[in-house]
Structures are given as structure tokens and as C-alpha cells.
């Protein structure tokens, strides 16, 4: 619960939207499996409950509560790649603790190697850090997942990475490809405008 004595800074609505979009609606992916696995000390019911509380807190823009809930979710299931992704996003976007963010993204990928959302977010971290070749590699790996439903994000971000590397022609081609895949990809139109 929010402590009324703690000052809150309002985040712009795009900031909350970016957090929620980055999380990729992974809340829907948790199953309602059994309560406890005695051999591994995993409590999936508690893990899921705290994960859902974290996602709800992110939606409200209460990033500190979200971080605490993701940590609690991991205490009930240390192999929860979705909570690792959530912590990676919070450390990257909200707290700007980039090394910590990278650890969480990499842990999510260690737990689930074909976790495209984590791969794209790791690429975004590298892009924000000026590590363009590493970002491009991450986006390419995510695009290797035929079931990744938001591939336009990886293509558009890869285009932006090429632009930042000084290759605007390649960037324009990739961003146009992303817009063809999703004509409502506003960031793609914005980036094309900036390049031009």
C-alpha cells in the first residue's frame, strides 16, 4: 500500500505505457498449477500472486512496490523468468541501474533461452547504452523466434540501432519493414521522421 507521507512523482502516461508494453502482457502466461512442490521448495500459487501484484503496481506506475513484489515472487520460485524480466525492465527504465538490469535480462534468458521479450529488452538496454552491435545481435536472435508476435518491435529497434551506427539507409529499410508489419507502430513513424 502507498504510504501517504512518501512524496510521489507522477510519471508521464507514456512512461507507464512503455513499462506495461515492455512487459509484454506476460502476466497472462502464468499457469494456475499446483500449490507446492516439496522437492524444490517452489510455491507456484504464491509466486503467481506476487507476480500479478507486481504487474498491477507497474500499471499504476508504483515502480518500487512492483520491484518488491517481483522480488517476493522470485523468493517463491527462483526460476520465474517473467519476474526476472519485470525486474530487468524496472531497473532499466525506472531506476536506470543498467548493470542490474542486464543481470536480470540475462537471468531470464538463462531460465528460458527462447524468451523473445527478454531478448528484445536486453537489446533495448544495449541500444540505450550505445552498444549497437550487441543490440543488433539481440534483435536478430529474437527475430529467429517464429512465434514472437511483436517482431515489428525488434525490426524497428534494429533499424534504430543501424541509424545510431551511422547507416541510415539500412535503418530506413528496417523501420519501413516494421511499419508494414504493424501500420499502427507510431514509434516507427517517429523514427523515420527523425532520420529524414
Phi then psi dihedrals of residue 113, to 5 deg:
-60, -30
- Identify which of 152, 156, 118, 112 has the alpha carbon closest to the alpha carbon of residue 138: 118
> Which of 2-11, 42-51, 155-164, 174-183 comes out lowest in average pLDDT?
2-11
Query: What is the predicted pLDDT for the residue at 147?
Result: 94
- Identify which of 140, 115, 118, 136 has the alpha carbon closest to the alpha carbon of residue 127: 136
Q: Please, what is the angle between helix 44-60 and helix 13-23, to 10°?
A: 150
**Total-model pTM:** 0.80
Q: Length of the chain, please?
A: 196
Cα 138 from chain centroid (whole Å): 13
Question: In sequence order, what are the residues at sequence separation of 6 or more whose Cβ sits closer than 8 angstroms to the Cβ of residue 129?
Answer: 98
pLDDT band for position 40 (cuts 50, 70, 90): low
Q: Which long-range contacts (CB under 8 A, 24 or more apart) does 113-116 make?
A: 114/145, 115/81, 115/85, 116/142, 116/145, 116/147, 116/148, 116/150, 116/154
**% of the chain exceeding 70 in pLDDT:** 80
pLDDT band for position 62 (cuts 50, 70, 90): very high
Amino acid at each position: 500500500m502507498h504510504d501517504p507521507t512518501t512524496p510521489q512523482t507522477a510519471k508521464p502516461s507514456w512512461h507507464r505505457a512503455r513499462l506495461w508494453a515492455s512487459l509484454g502482457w506476460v502476466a497472462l502466461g502464468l499457469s494456475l498449477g499446483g500449490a507446492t512442490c516439496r522437492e524444490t521448495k517452489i510455491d507456484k500459487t504464491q509466486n503467481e500472486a506476487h507476480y500479478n501484484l507486481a504487474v498491477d503496481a507497474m500499471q499504476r506506475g508504483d515502480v518500487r512496490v512492483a520491484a518488491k513484489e517481483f522480488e517476493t515472487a522470485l523468493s517463491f520460485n527462483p526460476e520465474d523468468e517473467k519476474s526476472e524480466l519485470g525486474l530487468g525492465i524496472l531497473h532499466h527504465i525506472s531506476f536506470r541501474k543498467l548493470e542490474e538490469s542486464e543481470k536480470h535480462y540475462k537471468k531470464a534468458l538463462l531460465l528460458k533461452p527462447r524468451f523473445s521479450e527478454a531478448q528484445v529488452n536486453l537489446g533495448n538496454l544495449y541500444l540505450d547504452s550505445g552498444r549497437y552491435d550487441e543490440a543488433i545481435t539481440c534483435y536478430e536472435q529474437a527475430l529467429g523466434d517464429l512465434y514472437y508476435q511483436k517482431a515489428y518491435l525488434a525490426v524497428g529497434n534494429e533499424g534504430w540501432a543501424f541509424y545510431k551506427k551511422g547507416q541510415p539507409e539500412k535503418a530506413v529499410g528496417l523501420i519501413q519493414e516494421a511499419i508494414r508489419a504493424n501500420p499502427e507502430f507510431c514509434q516507427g513513424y517517429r523514427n523515420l521522421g527523425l532520420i529524414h
